[in-house]
Amino acid sequence: MPNSTHSLFQLVLTNLVVLFLIVSAQQPQDTPIARFQRYLRINTAHPRPDYSSAISFLESQALSINLQVKTLEFSPGKPVLLLTWPGSNPSLPSLLFNSHLDSVPAESSKWTHPPFFAVRSPDGKIFARGAQDDKCIGVQYLEAIRNLKEKNFAPVRTVHVSYVPDEEIGGVNGILKFVASEEFRKLNVGFAMDEGQASPGDEFRVFYADRSPWNLIIKAKGMPGHGSRMYDNSAMENLMKSVEIISRFRESQFDVVKAGEAPNSEVVSVNPVYVKAGIPSPSGFVMNMQPSEAEAGFNIRLPPVADPELVRRRIAEEWAPARRNMTYQIIELGPLRDYMGRPLTTPTNDSNPWWPIFKQAITAVGGKLAKPEILASTTDARYIRQLGIPVLGFSPMKNTPILLHEHNEFLEDTVYLEGIEVYESIIRSLSSFEESSSY
């Protein structure tokens, strides 16, 4: 080969190598972290969650590991994705691993990294809306199954994985319709897992119940009158008396929390959220007239141990009594008792045969469990518990600040990867549990 041709050849070769390196660096890698990032980059935040892109991503992941795939739609545009890994003994009740597709909105301008870029910082933090709540578990379930399949593990019980819409806006067109469906009944679910919350400490947190939200609106009526007159039973006076009484109750509950006698999630919380009164004028409100109507709104959260009847009676007799010209409306958001009338709690003792298996699965991978808790907020788990199915709320994120619904939500890569191992252990143990066909 002449010298000039030789150097030309070398130049072309070098360029080709460089081109190859550039192209391969730009190719998205197919690693567990890359797959997590791909899911996080799909914007499923309200008010316009892109459910179809999320479903097609998850579906392709599921098909790549040979899971059975079914998309159900109980409300138009609100798909539920159901994946199934059949067990060797399908007559045994199955397992369900649930997560929600949607997330709360993110105010981009308040974030260090754009909330749907899933940027991984040099120290391994993956920033995205949904990183903790709850896209992590959604993909971890799949990664755990992928690893178990690679190790030729075969489940005895059938394992289902579900992805539901609209959890963040109450689940009425999501989990609620799913659990009420014939398809759900046919799954014969014996035990389910749903999202939990991050743990700032070294122990994993697990939740056996949620608090139930109530919205309370109280309305007062009274004689209108001149601003200068003092008289009994004005609407404002009646409303303010109620506000005082409710505030005292709130304080009594908060004192228990402050004294360390119970966590926030075990008391009845009641917080004022609005007051509406006064007669509008062009410059604000008419100031020399006492209005004939006034109302206030409260957000109440009831732990499963609270007696809803007692709270209802308290509202009727003390917070909005008819004798003070008060009326009220309670909007109960979700169930308080299961179909048998029992509180919506999942036992975390040996009376629940799944509990020791779950616990053991955590210790098997060197994990520690914190004392089981009631979740202060609400998840879809309550709708599954309502059917009498035991559900644990669990998201394996330890040494992680609680950032759900906050700016700069992130999850560390190592925490995410460890979570996959934890689910491998959980799915392996639970799906191998053969005892008693009643569970």
What's 343's DSSP letter? Answer: B
Map 178-217 to HEC letters. HHCCHHHHHHCEEEEEECCCCECCCCECCEEEECEEEEEE
Tell how strand 94-100 and strand 212-221 pair up. Answer: unpaired
Catalytic residue from among 134, 166, 167, 237: 167
- Looking at residue 378, its amino acid is T
* CA 145 – CA 159 distance, rounded (Å): 9
Site track 187-226 with Zn ion (rule: CB under 5 A), x = hit:
--------x-------------------------------
- Which of 58, 111, 133, 411 is close enough to bind Zn ion by CB under 5 A? 133
Please state, as a whole number, how many other Cβ atoms lie within 10 Å of the Cβ of residue 423: 24
| CB atoms inside a 10 Å sphere around CB 228 | 8
> In terms of CB distance, is 195 or 295 closer to Zn ion?
195
Q: 35, 106, 111, 134: which one contacts Zn ion (CB under 5 A)?
A: 134
Residue number with CB closer to Zn ion (126 or 326): 126
- Which residue number, 133 or 421, has a Cβ lying nearer to Zn ion? 133
Least Å distance, CB 318 to Zn ion, is: 35
- Which one, of 225, 230, 212, 151, lies nearest residue 375 by Cα? 212
Here the tokens at position 160 are 């289902």
Q: Is 102 a catalytic residue?
A: yes
- Is 409 among the residues known to form the active site? no
Q: Does 166 bind Zn ion (CB under 5 A)?
A: no
Give the number of other CB atoms < 10 A from CB of residue 420.
22
- Residue 143 assigned ligand-binding role: no
Q: Which of 102, 210, 266, 338 is catalytic?
A: 102
Site string for Zn ion, 78-117 (x = CB under 5 A): ----------------------------------------
**Which residue type is seen at 150?**
E
Would you say 113 is a known binding-site residue? no
Residues in binding site for Zn(2+):
100, 133, 168, 195, 405
The residues annotated as belonging to the active site are 102, 167
Residues in binding site:
100, 133, 168, 195, 405
Site of interaction with Zn ion (CB under 5 A): 133-134, 195
